[in-house]
A and B are shown apart, each in its own frame.
Chain A
Amino acid sequence: MRFFGKFIKKNYDPKTDSDVLFSLSSAYLTLESKMGLKNSGRCALSLKSISGMYFNEMKDDIKRFLDISKTDFELTYRTVTDSYGYLWIVLEGKRMEDLLAGISAVGDTVDEKGFSNQLLAAIFEFTNDRNKKQYLIYNYKRNSFYPFVPVDGGQKTRNTEEEIKMMATIGDEVPLEKDMTLWYPLWDLPL
């Protein structure tokens, strides 16, 4: 049955599953207590930009929403378009709950406007005790998380050992991408 389950799931239009996203609301505490990884207060959502009125409308909706909810969520935001043509909505806030609520709400807006296929990933930033950055990437298409720890120095290499540790630490709290060949990195994050 599991095999058929997989088979069917992959053919359907993937939906953003906020339950999976919100599993991070407790897992981030585990990362902090067991690995000393602190939530840096930054996260981002990335989606493929397309030209057209509807897409711009959606962008405005997101901005309007984030402006209004500034007081409720204690979030600040900025948008960046990167060299790949992806739109990044970068959120900053002190509390993980607010970040998750913000990301989830933005994701829902994208979904409502019919652009869920454009959704790439949500990225959560953590810093270790030596102030190095480590990331958890949520892939919308796979509805699961995977770790990404770039090594400093522009060499585009990653620290797989730390990644495995992160995965081991929160493996039973959040759905993780089991297939490591799909742990695609996101270099030069505009966070």
Chain B
Amino acid sequence: MVTVRSLIQLSSISRTPSWQRRDNGLTIRMILSFAILALLFVVFLSVLAYVGLGIIPITIIASLMVLAQWYFSDKIVLWMSRAKVVTRDQFPKLHDIVERIVARNNLPKPKIAVIDTNMPNAFATGKSKKSSIVAVTTGLMDTLDDPEELESVIAHELTHIRNRDAVVLTLVSLLPTVAWYLVQFGFYGGLYGGMGYGRDRNNGGVMIIVIVVAVLVFVISFLIVRAISRYREFSADRGAAQMTGKPVKLANALMKISGSMRRVPTKDLRQVEGLNAFFIIPAISGSTIGNLFSTHPPTEKRVQKLMEMEASMS
């Protein structure tokens, strides 16, 4: 339920084989924690429903749980990612970079946190502009040797904060869960409400319809949430490019981080020509479907949009 806006999709890194030697601990930890939290939430509410609580008490309890998560969100995120808030003395350069951008763009300075891992990534979280946190990994600082690239990445995160993306996406991501329960309760209420007693009655057909509709609603709203998330990423890229005035730096950073930089070949054209590399018909890749489910747009798309910005600026 707690949303962080990372620079690139956490799971996308582990898919790249060249990164497998790297520390994937952060990825696994974050995804597991989110999954467990979400699962607990759903299981708990289901148990309540099973026990026979009405829709109103369950709604109240669910809201309380969401509120609690909301209230503690920054602490939960820091704890899950093992990010440590750092002072100016510990990371003077990082503080410098952040201060320069926030000063130029009239934003409050966020707390700065560092995660000790080789995996290059960054995220922003926070309930309000003032209480927000920008976290970067040590891997990110190592990977981006150009300070302007690091600046672009931080600008991307600051745009998430400015756009209140953590808030928007936390609220929006409740949509599938809410939709799920509304459908279930709606059906139960409509079907059994008037008949007096319900659950003992054997009515398999209706149950199946309820489940199918609930699943459909869940899946559709889930996809919508993901689409919104991808759109917010593009916005954050655009915002970052406007803040720094150098879209190409963010494009470069994204390519370095995602490993695309390595995909630009160094093998000579004359060597590969004999292999007929250009005649291979690309299979419909899983990524086309996968893109619908991902929270971040593919790096190539983001780089392309940034390049279009670069072109229109120069």
Which A residues form the contact surface with B (CB < 8 A)? 7, 10-11, 34-35, 46, 48, 82, 84, 86, 120-121, 137, 139, 141-142, 156-158, 160-161, 163-165, 167-169, 171-172, 178, 180-187
The 9 sampled A-B contact pairs (Cβ below 8 Å) are A7-B281, A84-B271, A139-B269, A160-B255, A180-B263, A181-B263, A182-B277, A182-B278, A184-B269
Kindly identify which residue among A11, A46, A160, A169 contacts B314, using a CB–CB cutoff of 8 Å: A169
Interface of B (DSSP majority class): helix
Minimal Cβ-Cβ distance residue in A for B284: A3
Interface of A (DSSP majority class): mixed
Among B110-118, B168-176, B300-308, the stretch that binds chain A is B300-308
Q: Is the CB of B265 within 8 A of A185?
A: yes
Kindly identify which residue among B251, B265, B279, B314 contacts A184, using a CB–CB cutoff of 8 Å: B265
Minimal Cβ-Cβ distance residue in A for B300: A180
Query: In the complex, what distance in Å separates the CA atom of A163 from the CA atom of B252?
Result: 10
Query: In the complex, what distance in Å separates the CA atom of A178 from the CA atom of B282?
Result: 14
Q: Please, which residues of chain A bring their CB within 8 A of the CB of B278?
A: 139, 141-142, 182
Tell me whether A184 and B303 are in contact in the complex, defined as CB-CB below 8 angstroms, given that A168-B308, A168-B310 are known contacts: no
Minimal Cβ-Cβ distance residue in B for A84: B270
Tell me whether A178 and B304 are in contact in the complex, defined as CB-CB below 8 angstroms, given that A34-B314, A161-B248, A164-B248 are known contacts: yes
Query: In the complex, what distance in Å separates the CA atom of A188 from the CA atom of B300?
Result: 29
Distance in angstroms from A27 CB to nearest chain B CB is 12
Distance in angstroms from A146 CB to nearest chain B CB is 10
Q: Is B311 an interface residue (CB 8 A)?
A: yes
Q: Please, which residues of chain B bring their CB within 8 A of the CB of A184?
A: 265, 267-269, 272, 277
Distance in angstroms from A188 CB to nearest chain B CB is 9
Query: In the complex, what distance in Å separates the CA atom of A20 from the CA atom of B268?
Result: 23
Q: Is B260 an interface residue (CB 8 A)?
A: yes
Q: Is B273 an interface residue (CB 8 A)?
A: yes
Top-9 shortest CB links A-B: A184-B269, A168-B307, A84-B270, A168-B310, A141-B278, A168-B311, A34-B314, A181-B263, A184-B265
Q: Is the CB of B307 within 8 A of A121?
A: no
Could you mark each residue 236-260 of chain B with 1 if its beta carbon is under 8 Å from any beta carbon of chain A, else 0?
0000000000011001100100001
Q: Is the CB of A84 within 8 A of B268?
A: yes
Query: In the complex, what distance in Å separates the CA atom of A48 from the CA atom of B261?
Result: 29
Could you mark each residue 270-314 of chain B with 1 if its beta carbon is under 8 Å from any beta carbon of chain A, else 0?
111100011101000000000000000000100110011011001
Distance in angstroms from B37 CB to nearest chain A CB is 37
Q: Please, which residues of chain B bring their CB within 8 A of the CB of A48?
A: 273
Q: Is the CB of A183 within 8 A of B314?
A: no
Kindly identify which residue among B263, B270, B277 contacts A86, using a CB–CB cutoff of 8 Å: B270
Query: In the complex, what distance in Å separates the CA atom of A11 from the CA atom of B311?
Result: 33
Kindly identify which residue among A10, A178, A183 contacts B265, using a CB–CB cutoff of 8 Å: A183
Minimal Cβ-Cβ distance residue in B for A188: B268
Query: In the complex, what distance in Å separates the CA atom of A10 from the CA atom of B283?
Result: 13
Q: Is the CB of B269 within 8 A of A137?
A: yes
Distance in angstroms from A51 CB to nearest chain B CB is 16
Q: Is the CB of B281 within 8 A of A160?
A: no
The listed residue with most B CB atoms (<10 A of its CB), out of A7, A139, A168, A169, is A168
Q: Is the CB of B303 within 8 A of A172?
A: no
Q: Is the CB of A165 within 8 A of B310?
A: yes
Q: Please, which residues of chain A bring their CB within 8 A of the CB of B268?
A: 84, 184-187
Query: In the complex, what distance in Å separates the CA atom of A180 from the CA atom of B310?
Result: 18
Q: Is B266 an interface residue (CB 8 A)?
A: yes
Query: In the complex, what distance in Å separates the CA atom of A137 from the CA atom of B273?
Result: 14
Q: Is the CB of B310 within 8 A of A120?
A: no
Q: Please, which residues of chain B bring their CB within 8 A of the CB of A160?
A: 252, 255, 261, 264
Query: In the complex, what distance in Å separates the CA atom of A163 from the CA atom of B310?
Result: 13
Q: Please, which residues of chain B bring their CB within 8 A of the CB of A157?
A: 266
Query: In the complex, what distance in Å separates the CA atom of A185 from the CA atom of B269?
Result: 6
Distance in angstroms from A152 CB to nearest chain B CB is 15
Q: Is the CB of A186 within 8 A of B269?
A: yes
Kindly identify which residue among B264, B277, B303 contacts A158, using a CB–CB cutoff of 8 Å: B264
Distance in angstroms from A34 CB to nearest chain B CB is 5
Query: In the complex, what distance in Å separates the CA atom of A86 from the CA atom of B271?
Result: 11
Q: A163-B264, A180-B264 are in contact. List 19 more A-B contacts (CB 8 A).
A: A11-B281, A34-B314, A48-B273, A120-B269, A137-B269, A139-B278, A141-B278, A158-B264, A160-B261, A168-B307, A168-B311, A168-B314, A180-B300, A181-B265, A184-B265, A184-B268, A184-B277, A185-B267, A186-B270
Q: Please, which residues of chain A bring their CB within 8 A of the CB of B300?
A: 178, 180
Query: In the complex, what distance in Å separates the CA atom of A167 from the CA atom of B255?
Result: 15
Minimal Cβ-Cβ distance residue in A for B255: A160
Query: In the complex, what distance in Å separates the CA atom of A82 from the CA atom of B269?
Result: 13
